[in-house]
Amino acid sequence: MGIFKNSRIFVKIFFLFLIVLLLSVFSHVLVAQKVQQEFLRKQAKSITRQIVLTRQWIAGLGGVWSKDTYSKTHGFLSQYSEPSSDGNAAAVFYLHNPALATREISTLADIRHGYNFRVVSDRFREPKNKPDLFESKALKRFQTQKMAYTDGFQDGLYRYTEPLFVKQGCLKCHGKLDQDVKEPMKTILLEKYGQKAFDYKVGDVRGIVSIKIPQQTLVTLLSSIFTVWNVLIGVISILLFYLFTRFMIVKPITQLTHVANKLSEGQIDIDLGTAEIKFNTKNEISQLALAFERLRKSFEIMYRKLASR
C-alpha cells in the first residue's frame, strides 16, 4: 500500500470505492450462479420425473410396439411380422423397451431443446448405458448413502443425477429369470443381452438418471444481471460519488490546507468562512474549520499582545 501513502485523498477514496464496486459485482455474480444452479436443478428434477413416469408406463405395458418404423440409430428389442389378408406387404412391429425409449426421447430433447439425458448402470446391457466418471461416482454414492440427487458443473454443462429404483414392473425384464421374467420376454432378452442385468429385487438401485443441460457462460450470466438500466444507474452512482467526494470532502480539506499554509506564513486575518457554521455541528470537516478558526483567533490575540508591548 506504499504506492497510496503519498497519493491524494480523492485517489484513495476513489480506489476504495472501486474495490467495493468490484466486490459488489463479484457478489452479484456468485448470487446469480447460485440462482442459475437452483433453476437448473428444478428443471432437471422435472425432466427426471417425466423420464421415470414414461419408463414406468412402458414397463407396465411390457414394452411399446411401433408399426413399420424404428430408429436406425437405436434399433429395437424385437420384431414381429403380421401377415396381411389383402395380399399387401406384411406389417412389421418393433418392440421398444424402457431403456430404448429413454435413448430415443433423449435424442429428440437434444435436437429440439439442447439438453440430453440417459439412464446408466454399473450392470449395463448396452455399451451406450455405461456410466462415465461423474456418473460412476454418483452411482456409488447412491448405493452406499441415502441421497436424493447429486449435481455440479463440468465442461460447461450442468450435471444432475438421481437414483432409479427397481419397481415391481421392472422385474419383468430385470427380476429373477426362473421366477419374474416370463416368456417370450425371457427368450428375447437372453438372445439379445445374454445373462446381463437380472436378479434385481424391488427397491434396488438399478441405475441413475443422468441429465446434462448447457450452462450459461459468464458473459451471458453478466448480461442477464446488468441491463442497460443497471449500467445507467451504475454510471449515475459513480458520478454522484465523484461530485460528493470532490465538493463535500476534497474541496473543504483543500481550503483548510490553504488556510493552514497562510497561517504558517503569518497571515492571521484570513477569512475561513465559518460565520454560517453552527457551533454544535456534526460535520467533522466543519468542526475542523471551527478548530482552525479558534487557532487563528488565538494567533490574532497573541499577535496583538506582542504588538502592544
Which residues are within 8 A (CB) of 136 and not within 5 positions of it... i.e. 6 or more apart? 122
Query: What is the model's pTM?
Result: 0.65
CATH for the 227-308 domain, from 2.170.120.12, 1.10.490.10, 1.25.40.10, 1.10.8.500: 1.10.8.500
68 pLDDT band, cuts 50/70/90, is confident
290 Cβ contact list (under 8 Å, min separation 6)? 274, 277, 279, 281
Is the pLDDT at 60 greater than 60, yes or no? yes
Confidence class of residue 99 from pLDDT cuts 50, 70 and 90? confident
Residue 98, C-alpha cell as written in the block: 424402457
Q: What is the pLDDT of residue 161?
A: 95
pLDDT band at 227 (very low <50, low <70, confident <90, very high): confident
Question: pLDDT averaged over the chain?
Answer: 82
* Residues 253, 23: Cα–Cα separation, whole Å: 29
Residue 236 has pLDDT above 70, yes or no: yes
E-assigned strand segments in the chain:
64-67, 78-82, 91-96, 116-120, 150-154, 157-165, 205-214
DSSP single-letter state for residue 181: P
Model pLDDT, residue 220: 67
For residue 7, the model assigns a pLDDT of 60
Q: What's the CA gap between 279 and 241, in Å, rounded?
A: 28
Q: Which residue in 260, 262, 268, 256 sits closest to 302, CA to CA?
A: 268
Domain ranges (residues) in the chain = 2-83+90-224, 227-308
Please list the alpha-helical segments (H only) found in 114-176.
133-144, 171-174
Instruction: Check whether 13 has a pLDDT greater than 80.
Output: no
DSSP string, 85-109: TTSSPPEEEEEE-HHHHHHHHHHHH
pLDDT of residue 142: 92
**Max Cα distance, the chain (Å):** 141
Measured at the alpha carbon of residue 130, what is the angle toward residues 155 and 202, in degrees to the nearest 5? 120
C-alpha Rg value of the chain to the nearest Å = 38
What is the secondary structure of 266-296 as a DSSP string?
Answer: T-TT-----TTS-TT---HHHHHHHHHHHHH
Q: Which of 25-29, 41-45, 51-55, 177-181 has the lowest mean pLDDT?
A: 25-29
Instruction: Give residue 133's pLDDT.
Output: 93
Structure confidence at residue 126 as a pLDDT band (50, 70, 90)? confident
Min mean pLDDT across 83-87, 276-280, 284-288 is at 83-87
